[in-house]
Amino acid sequence: MAVVVDSTASLPAGLASQHRIVVVPMRLSFDGEPLRDGVDIQPDEFYRRLASSNTLPKTASPSPGDFVAAFEAAASRGARAILCLTLAKELSSTYEAARLGESQARERLPSVAIEVVDTRTAGGAEGLVALAAARAAARASTLGDVASVAARVIAQAQFIGVLDTLYYIWKGGRIPRAALWATSILQIKPILEIRDGKVPIVERPRTRKRALERLVTIVAERSVGKPLRMIVLHGNAPQEADVLLARLRGAVRCEEAFIAPFTPVIGAHTGPGLLGVAFHPAEAG
C-alpha cells in the first residue's frame, strides 16, 4: 500500500520519506529555467531568488507522465494498491493530470489498484490528509479503508493563513491595483482560508500582530476543545513560525505539531511572509 501526493502538500522531505509517501513535484519556470518544486529548488533558495528577480515565476502542474512515474516507483517498492491525493481541482489542473496518469498506468501496472482523490484543499491541509492516509496504509489496511481515513480528514482539515502582502497576488493578475494600494496604505493583513476548493478571505485585520492574534483565536474557537494535529507553515519566516506554534500550543490541545516551509510553488503566488496553520481533530485519523 502506498500514498502519492503532489508537492503543494508542503511536507518536509524527511517526514514524507519516514511515512513512505511518494511526492510528485509541481513545476516552476524561474527566469526561463525549468525547475521541479522541492527537487531542483528548495524554499530558502527560492525566496532568495524571488527577492532579486524582476519577473514572477510561472507554475505548472505535474504531467500525467510524472504521476505514472510515481505510481511505478511505488509499485517497485512492492505496493499493490496506491492512493493518490491532489490539491483541489479548482486551484490547479493537477487532479486531471493524476487521473490521466492513473489511466495510462493501468496498462503498465495491471496488478496495481490506483485511486485518485481530490482533497478539496492544498498546502499543509493536503499534507495532513497524506499523513493520515500513510499511517492507515502502514497498518496494512485495504485501499478502501485508507481512502475512508483520507475522506474523514478531508472533511475536517482546515487551513488558515495570514498574508503579509498582496503584491505577488496583484502581480499575478488576481486582484486589481486599487486593492493592492488600499491594503498597503491601511496596513491590512488579510486572513484567508481554504474551503472546498476556494480561498476566501475570512477577515481583514489591520497590522500583522492583530492578524496573527485573530488567527490563534479562530483556531481555538474551531477546535471546540478537541485535541488537534497541526502543521504551522511559513513563507521564509521561520522565527515567526516558532512563535506562532508556541502560541497555538498555549491556546489549543495539541496531539501532534510541527513546522514546515511553504513549498516554492505556493510562494510563487503569495510571496514571502505567508504564515498559517493547517489542522484537524486528532480523532479524524
C-alpha cell at 66: 510524472
Give the C-alpha separation, 219 to 164, whole Å: 19
Give the C-alpha separation, 237 to 261, whole Å: 8
**Band of residue 114 on the pLDDT scale cut at 50, 70, 90:** very high
**The residue count for the chain:** 285
Predicted TM-score of the model (pTM): 0.93
152: three-class secondary structure by DSSP: helix
User: Which pLDDT value is given to residue 87?
Assistant: 97
Residue 76 Cα to chain centre, angstroms: 26
Q: Give buried/exposed letters for 173-186 (b at 16+ CB in 10 A, else e).
A: eeeeeeebeebeee
Domains, the chain: 2-156 (3.40.50.10170), 158-284 (3.30.1180.10)
**Band of residue 166 on the pLDDT scale cut at 50, 70, 90:** low
- Whose cell is 500583522? That residue is 208
Mean pLDDT, to the nearest integer, of 5-21?
93
- Whose cell is 503579509? That residue is 164
**116-141 per-position pLDDT tens digit:** 999 999 999 999 999 999 999 998 77
Above 80 in pLDDT, residue 96? Answer: yes
Residue 71 Cα to chain centre, angstroms: 20
List the alpha helices (DSSP H) in the chain: 13-18, 43-52, 64-76, 94-108, 123-138, 143-156, 167-171, 177-185, 208-223, 238-251, 264-270
Above 70 in pLDDT, residue 195? Answer: yes
Give the C-alpha separation, 131 to 246, whole Å: 22
DSSP character at residue 282: G
User: Which pLDDT value is given to residue 51?
Assistant: 85
Q: With contact defined as beta carbons under 8 Å apart, do 275 and 240 qualify?
A: yes
* Helices 238-251/208-223 angle, 10° precision: 40
Give the least confident one: 70-74, 98-102, 189-193: 189-193
Above 90 in pLDDT, residue 194? Answer: yes
